[in-house]
A and B are shown apart, each in its own frame.
Chain A
Amino acid sequence: MPELLDLQHDMAGALQDAGTVSRTERWLSGDAGLIEQRLAIYRANVTAAATKALAAAYPVIQQVVGDEFFDGLARAYQRLMPSTSGDLYDYGATFAGFVAEFPHTQSLPYLPDLARLEWAVHRAYGAEDAPAWDRQALAQIEPTQQAAVRFVWATGTAIGESSFPIARIWLIHQSGFDGEFSVDWSVRESALVAREGFRVVVRALDACDAAFIASSLAGAALGPSAERALAADPGFDLGQLLGRLVASNVICGFNTDKDE
């Protein structure tokens, strides 16, 4: 395909950089002015598709910075990190790193954490449905075996760690939120992102709960995960946390070392 490859190479160049449009003139009908005018339609389509996909993944950031600023942010991101997939659900995975470096968002230092949280929410939305499992079996584990239990977490479950009240910021920007639109900036918050049924939930976590979940999600057994939680806060209530996570099916199974 030498000729078609050359043609698409020149077209692709002109879609990314209007300065190279003249290279498409040997392929396209019409004069230079018409060609640039028509390629501009495609360039706008390409930008619009990427911007729409980014806004679908980062709706809270779009609200925080406003539509117009977000469009500019999306254009700058696209220049640096263009789409590489025909499946736009994949687009925007590196946005948190981008906003951390972007000069014009430095006045919003919580933005990278918020972006990481939103990406986790975006991925949880399409994650595999958690399977049904035998909850009774968990209650029947011998006390001597309990510390060795490793939990199976529903796909999409994630911890968003932050020095900012990140879960609160996310919550007050949800449609249908009718509480007080205020944020206590002195609070450091980690957030649990999880699918409960088809709904993605974001919950603020105590430091000890966050420590337990992060450890267990990373594959550690119950014993060492509980020790980390107790180190973060001696008041850690394991039974209460597990009760919630099992009831909502965010923990959706377990293994013991015996099984392995």
Chain B
Amino acid sequence: MTNLPDRTVGIGLRQPHYREVFERTPALGFLEVHSENFFLDGGASMHALERARAAYPISLHGVGLSLGSADALAQVHLAKLKRLVDRVEPTLISEHLSWGSLGARHFNDLLPMPHTREVLALLSERVDRVQTVLNRSILIENVSAYVAYRDDDMTETALLAELARRTGCGILLDINNLYVNAVNFGFDPVARLAELSPDAIGEMHLAGHTAADGCLIDTHGTRVCAEVWALFEEACRRFGPKPTLIEWDTDLPTLDVLLDEAATASSIAHRSTIEVSHA
């Protein structure tokens, strides 16, 4: 168990880092990519993913399935994901607690869901269908939000916990998203951790955000801030070490910066696990 934390931290693999990652093969537990960037028939991107797969476990993180669209589940999109899953045999597959399309229109964004019993029923049915098609369980991630709905019946974390209980899916707990929402809507993020059972957490995400107009925006373009590291430490104490990802999508830094963030995550996870085992 002692070296587990080192092996569980991964980074998001983005194109500008392909060559360096393949040449250096840094010690990482896994690499995560956006599923939609690899819905291709062939070519350079698919070849790069195959190289990555030969050296690391791969986590497929989807951003376009729009699980929460009230009208329909996107069958074509799901079929493309299924083809990729069969090709890559990923260690993890994840999507978001969100919607992004209605009718023919796709916003290509992660729009928040209301947290109601109606939505819980819809998402339970959708996650069931996705897991049936893929023939394995997936992880569902909490999202950053800039608007909140008036008539919520429960918190997002309580909804995720119940969704996991009903469908057997896991939870991808994005610590930065939880923190961003805690600030944007004024709640205690630690109390939200208490709504989640350790067994349900399949992965954690860490990322940076920016502040604008009295609101935190989830930009994935900076280092993880001190408050998010502290919340991550609290989550590790409660849930134990889980596969943890450094996510960075805009203003990409050098690979070394990502590896430095990954090392910080690893040492925090390690430290908090030791604290728990000595408690």
Contacts and interface: CB of A to CB of B under 8 A. Distances in A.
B279 interface: no
Contact of B118 (A3, A9, A30, A88): A3
A9 B102 contact: yes
Interface stretch (A31-39, A133-141, A210-218, A247-255): A31-39
B271 to A, nearest CB: 36
Interface stretch (B63-71, B198-206, B253-261): B63-71
Interface string B58-80: 00000111100111001011001
Contact of A85 (B77, B148, B149): B77
A120 to B, nearest CB: 14
A30 B42 CA distance: 48
Contacts of A80: none
B69 A8 contact: yes
Contacts of B76: 85
Given A1-B70, A27-B149, A29-B149, A86 B108 contact: yes
B146 interface: yes
Interface in A127-150: 127-129
B80 A4 contact: no
Given A9-B102, A12-B102, A89-B39, A4 B217 contact: no
Given A1-B70, A8-B102, A29-B147, A126 B108 contact: no
B70 A86 contact: no
A83 B42 contact: no
A126 B215 contact: no
Contact of A125 (B39, B44, B64): B44
B131 interface: no
A82 interface: yes
B45 to A, nearest CB: 7
Interface in B106-121: 106-109, 111, 114, 116, 118-119
A128 B46 CA distance: 10
| Residue among B71, B99, B108, B122 with the highest chain A CB neighbour number at 10 A | B108
B42 A128 contact: yes
Contacts of A12: 102-103, 105, 107
A7 interface: yes
B36 A86 contact: yes
A86 B215 contact: no
Contacts of A124: 43
A179 to B, nearest CB: 24
B147 A39 contact: yes
A185 interface: no
B150 A83 contact: no
Q: What is the size category of the interface that chain A forms with chain B?
A: 35 or more
B155 to A, nearest CB: 14
A85 to B, nearest CB: 6
Contacts of A127: 40-43
Interface string A75-99: 0000000111111110000000000
Nearest to B63: A86
B214 to A, nearest CB: 8
Interface string B204-226: 00000000110101000000000
A58 to B, nearest CB: 17
B41 A126 contact: yes
Nearest to B110: A45
Nearest to A129: B42
Contact of A83 (B106, B119, B149, B217): B106
B223 to A, nearest CB: 21
B35 to A, nearest CB: 9
A42 B105 contact: no
Contact of A4 (B65, B100, B119, B147): B119
Contact of B109 (A3, A42, A89): A42
Given A41-B215, A82-B105, A86-B77, A5 B42 contact: no
A246 to B, nearest CB: 20
A5 B43 contact: no
A37 B116 CA distance: 24
Contact of A5 (B70, B148, B213, B217): B70
| Residue among A8, A37, A82, A84 with the highest chain B CB neighbour number at 10 A | A8
Contacts of B39: 87, 89
A82 B103 CA distance: 12
Interface string B135-148: 00000000000111
Given A27-B149, A41-B215, 16 more contacts: A3-B118, A7-B149, A8-B102, A12-B105, A27-B151, A28-B147, A28-B149, A37-B213, A42-B109, A49-B107, A86-B74, A87-B36, A87-B39, A125-B43, A126-B42, A198-B44
Interface of A: 1, 3-5, 7-9, 11-12, 15-16, 26-30, 35, 37-39, 41-42, 45-46, 49-50, 53, 82-89, 124-129, 155, 195, 198-199
Sorted nearest first, the 6 A-B pairs with minimum C-beta distance are: A86-B64, A126-B40, A129-B42, A198-B44, A128-B41, A5-B70
